[in-house]
Structure formats: C-alpha cells, structure tokens
Amino acid sequence: MRLVRGLLATLVFLSGPAAASERLLDPIRAFVEGYDPSGNDFLANVPERTVLLRIRADLDGDGIEDLALSDSSTWGNAGGQWLLFRGQPDKSFVYWGTIFLSPGTAVVRPLGRGESELLLYVRTSVSRGMLEAHRVTSSAITRLSQVSLDLERPRDRERYEAVLRSGRQLAVEHCKLLEYRREAASCWRPGLGLR
C-alpha cells in the first residue's frame, strides 16, 4: 500500500510540471476547446454573448511574441482574468500563468534581454485601486509590489499617470466566439468589443 501511495504521489508531482510545460501550437483554439490550466470560469456565457480577447506582445523582452487570452465571461468593471502563454522560438506556446488586468491600465517596461516589468493598475472602486509591479522572465511572472492608490488625491493620480506613460501599453483585440468558430483568421478587431 505504501508503494502505491508513493507512486501516486510521484505521478501527481510529475503531472503538474508536465502540464505546465505542454507546448501548444494554437493556444486560442485550445482555449476555445476548453484548455484552462488555471481552473477559472472561462467561456461561462452562452456562445452568442461570448467575446474572445487576446493580447499579442513580447512580455518578457526576449524578442518573441507572447500571448494573453481571456473572454468576456470573466470580466467586470475592473477587468478580467487572463491566461498568459510564453512564445517559443519554434512558434509554439507554453502556459505561463494567470493574471488579473485591464489592458488600458497595464504597461510593459523592458529591463534587459529576457526580462521586463509588467505594471498594472487594478481598480477596486470608482477612484481607488492597487498599483502592482510584476517581474516577467522566461521562467515566471512574479509580483514584486502592490501599492494602494486613490486617484482623487493629486499625488496618487500623478503616480498613476506616470506609470502608464512609463512603458508600452498592451493592445487588445476581440473576436466574438461564434465568428471565431466560422473564420478564426479574420475575425479579430482592435479594442475590447465588450459593449
């Protein structure tokens, strides 16, 4: 019985890293078909009301385009959950992690080859939120700091605006799920498309 428990523990341990390093040629197709290592409630809306969202950007400064995916069913007024996929030299992608963000309040600042800083403002009420700094490398996305801001205070507003000017904003594209299923290559349009 101990041997069986030991083998099961080994299998559980090995399946975590193996699943995390799985290479995907088309993460969007996999996402639409249910791939979600984060366990979030993606694609919970009816297909007619579901809008797919993607960000294509070099998030870690290695010169290879990475991908962030979300959909309208996880979104509220402050943003939504995103699955992050690191682009590989062979044009495949590896799941990297999950992060909550709104593209209009997120910027990437390169720090050096293969390393950058992802700065986010996550709104918690009309004028308040958290300014987060994340270090992005090929191996991980790590939150470095989190600071409360009240945008009604001039000093906090200045800090918020300075952060958003300090890096490259993340451009988002949208595609309705039903359109994606009909014509995946040509359905993408600039912006959130959530209205």
Q: In what order do the strands lie in the sheet with 168-169?
A: 141-150, 128-137, 115-123, 106-112, 168-169
Q: Which of 66, 90, 70 is nearest to 80 (CA)?
A: 70
Q: Give the per-residue SS3 of 42-106.
A: CCCCCHHHCEEEEEEECCCCCCCCEEEEEEHHHCECCEEEEEEEEECCCCCEEEEEEEEECHHHE
Residue pLDDT, tens place only, 168-192: 999 999 999 999 999 999 999 999 8
Contact 128, 151 (CB under 8 A): yes
Could you write out the DSSP letters of every residue in 117-167?
A: EEEEEEESSSSEEEEEEEEEESS-EEEEEEEEEETTSHHHHHHHHHHHHSS
pTM here?
0.85
Mean pLDDT, rounded, for 145-163: 97
Which residues are CB-neighbours of 11 under 8 A, at least 6 positions away? none
Residue pLDDT, tens place only, 18-69: 345 689 999 999 999 999 999 888 998 899 999 999 999 999 999 999 999 9
d(CA 60, CA 136): 5
**What backbone phi and psi angles, to 5 degrees, belong to 166?**
-85, -5
Look up residue 147 and give its two tokens. Answer: 């600071």
Residue pLDDT, tens place only, 84-143: 999 999 999 999 999 999 988 999 999 988 899 999 999 999 999 999 999 999 889 999
Query: Does residue 13 carry a pLDDT above 70?
Result: no
